[in-house]
Homo-oligomer: A and B are copies of this chain.
């Protein structure tokens, strides 16, 4: 696969939310694997199922991004080590210069209509809050172009890993590109969230885009219209990493056995910045909505479901979920399946982000445009895909890989 590594292509990765826990873990992990300190555990693109395809080598990735807080990768990684404990002192020591190099590519993000909780996390000042929306878009675009040129990148992939935003009430301004651009022009803050600006700038530049959060202001019809026009592949929304992943793996079993699910209660507790943002009822709503629609879709009938998310500071990023599934079988007998998931969110999500970067890179090389629907298994709310069954989604992925293999 690797062949002779004369010099791998240079592919830029631009992370909106550059110093969050997930983005930091992506950068640390990519460099750790590139330096041979860890095997590529967690990456689908590193398994036999993905053999025979010329995946972009991780050592050829160049990282940069926008960030609204004052931070850098050395600081952010140290915070993770001290709270969650997933990154060891010796690893961070070994990657110190890599992290410093990537930190030099961090630029101030934007905060239009970000909502109270996210604003409170950024602290006094913030950056660039008083610019017009149009100026903010232009600034983001300039940062991207400058990054591409400075590093002489062969390609550039953008990834949204900002904090979950409160849902934006979508209206006429989000239905067509023309209407949206008018709203931008008249500086209508109610038409955007930060992620709208990021996605819009990415679409304008025709760059491949991965939307890894549930924020609904990102891949609106208006912005998708622009992606389609400028011809970039994109996909979202909301990485499927933990409880929802297990759900979408387990729920088909009940269907296969004609066991009627009566109630499916899910309780998530977590404690990091993500948890604090989700503790805000408004932001939580976006997340819960994504998680809640899955079961009726998978099972084919309405059922009693509940998805709770609570902030438990002491857990940091070690998310825990308890799911209680009440189901009815033969002769009306009720039975119970419970599961408890104890995962580290950033550790689960980071390899998906790297996989998605590689898939977006492959799609760009293959000239594919529009939503990359074959990546549905990576998302809680896959764009233009109604199928939530993890196994069918996986099947779709392997079929794509088969096609990609035979094309090459």
Contact = CB atoms under 8 A, between A and B. Distances in A.
Interface of A: 25, 28-29, 32, 38, 40-44, 46-47, 85-91, 245-246, 249-250, 252-253, 255-260, 262-263, 265, 267, 269, 304, 306, 308, 310, 312-315, 320, 322, 324, 326, 328-344, 347-348, 350-352, 377, 390-391, 394
Given A29-B331, A265-B269, 15 more contacts: A44-B257, A44-B258, A46-B258, A85-B85, A89-B90, A245-B257, A246-B250, A246-B337, A257-B351, A267-B322, A312-B326, A329-B344, A329-B347, A329-B348, A337-B342
Contact of A253 (B46, B245, B342): B245
B256 A332 contact: no
A48 to B, nearest CB: 8
A357 to B, nearest CB: 14
How many copies of this protein are present in the complex?
4
B344 A335 contact: yes
Contacts of A259: 41-42
B265 A330 contact: no
Given A43-B258, A249-B249, A258-B43, A347 B330 contact: yes
B315 A306 contact: no
A351 to B, nearest CB: 5
A304 B312 contact: yes
Contacts of A252: 249, 391, 394
Contacts of A28: 331
